[in-house]
Structure 1
């Protein structure tokens, strides 16, 4: 009988150990390594800050009569029942919620107000996307750390005629700001720092792609995209190569100089082409 009780007691102990191990395995790694009652680390992601023109809905838990849909004025304030003018412009959502809660509490209107603010329309933080993109226009910055690639994606990406270089203009710390970003380098290894954070009022300009023009005795004369480091031979190959009447000895390139004047040069086949170059292939005399 004693042996039977001891076996049951041993089984119970083993079952408790297995259950505790299973519970620990089911918890996230940070929960397994965190002491009880330890505070949860706050997120490092910056919050969206309200701007003039934003439309918000303000609600107070168990106080439906205090629900308000309003627009943040140009001066950054809203008029809220009982407490009057409250400055919300430039504040994060959580800070704006605390400002209204403090006003209700300090005025003895609500003892323990639980305020929630939802942004219905983003109008205060916007940026312009212009040039060679699929959907140019003015776009809201719905998150605080929206990157250049995020905004270009909202605009449908660069068009087929768009260049790889993107220009960002705006203001930083009260001073004019301008930056040129080479889009392909953003996705190169360890180059994510080039993906600039867009701020309110920025303008993104995507210029047309660089072009080279080929005419004369080639298979497919006309304009074509100038790829990076493209040589004369590669540009001719893009045009289908010389036809039966063309000759390499008769190739001339018309290139505009820094002074705006056009120069006529005789390039080698491995010379790198430039934006706006005009390649002329002459007819063979024999």
Structure 2
């Protein structure tokens, strides 16, 4: 699909979701079936760069400047790291490459000529998901690479015998807006429905009654995630 067509598809989908999902106010109203994949889509063809998060631990290397380099720079709750000479630098929400450019730019303003900065994420605390509800071992789990809903539930040792597999909620927050969608895990297991991609920061809730308890029965504004949706390949 050509890039202009993809962009138009995303725009139209986002507008449609703003209309169709804007009135969604309760957990029971969460989109289901094909509509759920407009909120939490299947894995895209191209992966996304990791974005630095609070509490991540970074290695910052300034070429030929060991005194300015840091081995274990922890990102503060405010999303900053403290660098020699230039003080606090906001890095949360940036990729390692973008953060490197920001630090290099600040060092180059007053202290160094054409500084070369490299950042490596040593500990990606932000790459975690929550799995709760009717699962055997609910909790926080690290995300390494791509992760689907089936794998996410498996991290929690699978659903309990009381779990309602047709009522598995995925909650995602993007730019301060929470979005949620309901999936049928049994259909995904049988290959009758796509397996949605679970991203760092997502919450997976197995069983509607538990989802209602955690979310208080309310479902906040939804349209944000749908703006990035591209039509499913082959009508999956």
- TM-score band w.r.t. shorter chain: 0.5 to 0.7
Q: Which residue of 2 aligns with 1:158?
A: 159
Q: Deviations over 1:188-244 (max 9, x none)?
A: 65843x5144352x3211239xxxxxxxxxxxxxxxxxxxxxxxxxxxxxxxxxxxx
Q: 1:79 aligns with which of 76, 79, 82?
A: 82
Q: Which residue of 2 aligns with 1:217?
A: none
Q: Deviations over 1:116-136 (max 9, x none)?
A: 222222333533111233432
Structure of greater Rg: 1
Q: Which residue of 1 aligns with 2:225?
A: none
Q: Which residue of 1 aligns with 2:102?
A: 99
The separation in 2 between residues aligned to 1:164 and 1:185, in whole angstroms, is 9
The separation in 2 between residues aligned to 1:118 and 1:181, in whole angstroms, is 36
How much does 1:67 deviate? Answer: 2.6
How much does 1:159 deviate? Answer: 4.3
Correspondences of 1:177-216 after superposition (within 5 Å): 177-186=179-188, 191-192=193-194, 194-200=195-201, 202-207=202-207
TM-score of the superposed pair, with normalisation by structure 2: 0.57
SS of 2:78 mapped into structure 1:
coil
SS of 1:97 mapped into structure 2:
helix
How much does 1:110 deviate? Answer: 5.0
Q: Which sections of structure 2, spanning at least 5 residues, go unmatched?
A: 1-44, 209-236
Residues 108, 115 of structure 2: 8 Å contact kept: yes
The separation in 2 between residues aligned to 1:155 and 1:142, in whole angstroms, is 15
Residues 51, 96 of structure 2: 8 Å contact kept: yes
The separation in 2 between residues aligned to 1:160 and 1:132, in whole angstroms, is 8
More strand by share: 1
SS of 1:186 mapped into structure 2:
helix
Higher RCO (CA-CA < 8 Å; seq separation 6+): 2
How much does 1:90 deviate? Answer: 0.7
How much does 1:72 deviate? Answer: 1.0
The separation in 2 between residues aligned to 1:90 and 1:183, in whole angstroms, is 31
Q: Which residue of 2 aligns with 1:59?
A: 61
The separation in 2 between residues aligned to 1:190 and 1:116, in whole angstroms, is 45
Q: 1:123 aligns with which of 122, 125, 142?
A: 125
Relative to structure 1, the CA distance from residue 120 to residue 83 in structure 2 (aligned partners, 3 Å threshold; closer, same or farther) is same
Count of residue correspondences: 162
Relative to structure 1, the CA distance from residue 207 to residue 99 in structure 2 (aligned partners, 3 Å threshold; closer, same or farther) is same
TM-score of the superposed pair, with normalisation by structure 1: 0.48
Give the root-mean-square deviation of aligned CA atoms. 2.9
Relative to structure 1, the CA distance from residue 173 to residue 104 in structure 2 (aligned partners, 3 Å threshold; closer, same or farther) is closer
Could you list the runs of 4 or more consecutive aligned residues of structure 1 that deviate by over 4 angstroms after TM superposition? 187-190
Relative to structure 1, the CA distance from residue 96 to residue 147 in structure 2 (aligned partners, 3 Å threshold; closer, same or farther) is farther
